[in-house]
Amino acid sequence: MDEKILVTRSSMPPFEEYVEEIRSIWETRWLTNSGAKHTELEANLREFLSVSNIALCVNGHQALECILEAFDLQGEVITTPFTFVSTTNAIVRKGLKPVFCDINGEDFTIDADKIESLITEKTCAIVPVHVYGNLCDDEKIEKIAQKYNLKVIYDAAHAFGVRKNGVSSAALGDAAMFSFHATKVFHSVEGGAAVFRDSAMYEKINQLKNFGLSSPETPWYCGGNAKMNEFCAAMGLCNLRHIDAAIASRREAAERYRQRLEKIPGIQLNTVQHGVQSNYAYFPAVIHPEKFGCSRDELAKALARKNIAVRKYFYPLTSSAEYFKGAHPAGETPIAKFISDRILCLPIFEGIGEKTVDRICDAVISEYKG
């Protein structure tokens, strides 16, 4: 049987480069609590992402929780159910009520035209989600937020390094969260970051991620522990040096997928957004069984038999979480439900190569029964 193809594979710097990067940690024995590597990575990311304010965290989820808490929000938050559970969980864990808005069926981001109808006197913020390297309609969202005096906090876990007409995804909204998990385009093994417009938030987020402390002997408020350690920061420093090559490799793979699959009946690829420089974080395909000849689930099983791993991402909708107890029927967001039931992310990662992409495409096309 052919070698197994994973749906993703972590980018890694040369071994010797990482060893050299962590050498000074043995000399200082400063392993966590905002050491030299942490400070350097924060500065480098500030420059790469073209932002003035950034705070590193242990992961993207904790970064989002810190942002929500730092804004001292109360009430309802308009968001999307077409996301990873982390987004919705963070909102609920901070005592806020998610109100789910449908997505559009072209790039799978939140449908900005449907947000305003969901706003009530209890609405305090909008949490849109950039997906697969596609950006939300930030211009429409910003206008709505200004009209109703709402905070805009982007879940940008899929949007590291993405730019729209030259503007960094990190510069959109009042704040944004990035994930540096091992599966992401840029990673620090585990890690994340909060970026934000208001420089006054820097101190507050750093206190929130450090038990609420501002100093060892100062009265504190109830924070948690969300600090990034030095070894993760060192991995981030190494991977950031190679990020352009990593994205270029993914772009080549995505372009090859499009060449092979975009004209196959029953396979819908997301719209290429005008003016957006994607990071090609994932390669999603929507399978329409009435045209393709088999369902998404049947195709996934067929690919698994050929040693090709795929992921139904995002499925199911987060609005179906057990803790909602059925309070959010799928009919509230029909397009999100439709896409979620048919979405399949094909393997893409740095160094995947044309030969491997062709093997995957051949396997997909062989299941076409139209």
Tens of pLDDT, residues 49-58: 999 999 999 9
CATH number for the domain spanning 333: value is: 3.90.1150.10
10 assigned to some structural domain: no
Q: How many domains does the chain have?
A: 2
Nearest to 207 by CA among 225, 228, 231: 225
* pLDDT score for 215: 85
CB 169 within 8 A of CB 135: yes
* pLDDT score for 341: 98
5 assigned to some structural domain: no
pLDDT of 41 higher than 80: yes
The residue out of 213, 241, 269 marking a domain boundary is 241
Q: Does residue 274 sit in the same domain as residue 315?
A: yes
- Average pLDDT of 102-106? 97
pLDDT of 299 higher than 80: yes
pLDDT band at 330 (very low <50, low <70, confident <90, very high): confident
* pLDDT score for 164: 98
Nearest to 41 by CA among 229, 205, 233, 230: 233
Bridge partner residues of 54 (DSSP): 195
- Whether the model pTM is above 0.85: yes
1 assigned to some structural domain: no
Measured CA to CA, the distance from residue 11 to residue 343 in angstroms comes to 25
* pLDDT score for 284: 98
The residue out of 218, 241, 264 marking a domain boundary is 241
* pLDDT score for 98: 98
CATH number for the domain spanning 123: value is: 3.40.640.10
The residue out of 241, 256, 277 marking a domain boundary is 241
221 assigned to some structural domain: yes
Measured CA to CA, the distance from residue 146 to residue 174 in angstroms comes to 11
Measured CA to CA, the distance from residue 83 to residue 183 in angstroms comes to 16
- Average pLDDT of 87-114? 98
Q: Does residue 291 sit in the same domain as residue 154?
A: no
* pLDDT score for 2: 87
Q: Does residue 56 sit in the same domain as residue 89?
A: yes
- Average pLDDT of 161-184? 98
Nearest to 54 by CA among 184, 224, 236: 236
pLDDT of 218 higher than 90: no
Per-chain mean pLDDT for the chain:
97
40 assigned to some structural domain: yes
Nearest to 252 by CA among 168, 355, 156, 131: 355
Dihedral sign, CA of 345, 156, 232, 43?
Answer: positive
Q: Does residue 218 sit in the same domain as residue 362?
A: no
Q: Does residue 228 sit in the same domain as residue 259?
A: no
Q: Does residue 68 sit in the same domain as residue 37?
A: yes
Q: Does residue 297 sit in the same domain as residue 348?
A: yes
- Average pLDDT of 290-318? 98
3 assigned to some structural domain: no
Phi, psi of 357 (to 5 degrees): -60, -40
Measured CA to CA, the distance from residue 240 to residue 157 in angstroms comes to 16
Measured CA to CA, the distance from residue 248 to residue 259 in angstroms comes to 17
Tens of pLDDT, residues 115-167: 999 999 999 999 999 999 999 999 999 999 999 999 999 999 999 999 999 99
Range of the domain at 350: 243-366
303 assigned to some structural domain: yes
Q: Does residue 88 sit in the same domain as residue 233?
A: yes
* pLDDT score for 296: 98
* pLDDT score for 219: 75
Q: Does residue 259 sit in the same domain as residue 224?
A: no
* pLDDT score for 235: 98
Q: Does residue 237 sit in the same domain as residue 247?
A: no
Q: Which amino acid is at 193?
A: A
Tens of pLDDT, residues 225-266: 999 999 999 999 999 999 999 999 999 999 999 999 999 999
Q: Does residue 355 sit in the same domain as residue 284?
A: yes
Nearest to 247 by CA among 350, 96, 360, 169: 350
- Average pLDDT of 308-326? 96
323 assigned to some structural domain: yes
pLDDT band at 59 (very low <50, low <70, confident <90, very high): very high
CA atoms within 13 A on the CB side of 76: 12
Q: Which amino acid is at 124?
A: C
Q: Does residue 198 sit in the same domain as residue 312?
A: no
pLDDT band at 370 (very low <50, low <70, confident <90, very high): confident
